[in-house]
Amino acid sequence: MKLVVTDLAADRGSGPIFEAITFALQDGEGLLVTGPNGAGKSTLIRAIAGLLRPSAGTAEIEGATEDWPDVPSASHYLGPINAMKPALTVFENLSFWQTFCGRPALGVDEALERIGLEHTRDLPFSYLSTGQRRRVSIAKLLISHRPVWLLDEPTSGLDAASELHFAELVREHMETGGIVAAATHLPIRVEGMKELKFGGVAA
């Protein structure tokens, strides 16, 4: 499988945010999109995920199969907000997403163990701290299988230890043939990731 982005451009009405972004990621490859605030990193991730209509260019899966015909279906999108309901418990939140997204990988309890939050299983999501919420959101990547991870500031709110732990999860995903594209201003310490630097501040 190969994620191919060709000549991607996005426009928010006040001129282009980025133009002519071209890259390709093979199985097991990762891309870090770095740059200052407002450079268009999140917009790029949203455009790849298909949540934002690009003004030009395409993001496609080369060698698409029946299972993963296009980028949205093959991707986990970890957005800047956690996509969890504050009124539901951590377990309820995660098991809902597992059922809804399908293709279960790790069990919910296993995934919570992986991120070290098994003790919060039955707490309402709103009781958790910012960092813990982010980690639960990261656990969502583990409970359903998707070959492509599109991450938008995945480590925001995480402490140093959790950041390292997250880097390990990303490395593991790449080692098992997964593709990662992450927009971040804090570099994730994973060796062998390509880097795409976004330069100036968009108008």
Contacts with other proteins by CB under 8 A lie at 49-53, 69-70, 72-73, 75, 77, 79-88, 92, 96-97, 99-102
CA angle 104, 111, 148 (to 5 degrees): 55
Nearer to other proteins, 102 or 187 (CB): 102
Nearer to other proteins, 81 or 203 (CB): 81
Shortest distance (Å) from residue 164 CB to other proteins? 25
Shortest distance (Å) from residue 195 CB to other proteins? 25
C-alpha to C-alpha distance for 154 and 186, rounded to whole angstroms: 9
Nearer to other proteins, 13 or 192 (CB): 13
Shortest distance (Å) from residue 73 CB to other proteins? 3
Nearer to other proteins, 70 or 172 (CB): 70
Are 136 and 88 in contact, with CB atoms under 8 Å apart?
no
Q: What are phi and psi of 131, to 5 degrees?
A: -65, -40
Shortest distance (Å) from residue 24 CB to other proteins? 21
Shortest distance (Å) from residue 192 CB to other proteins? 27
Are 124 and 53 in contact, with CB atoms under 8 Å apart?
no
- For residue 2, what are its two tokens? 């190969």
Question: For the purposes of burial, counting CB atoms within 10 Å of the CB of 100, is it exposed (0-12), middle (13-18) or buried (19 or more)?
Answer: exposed
Q: How far apart are the first and last CA of the chain?
A: 36
Nearer to other proteins, 43 or 120 (CB): 43
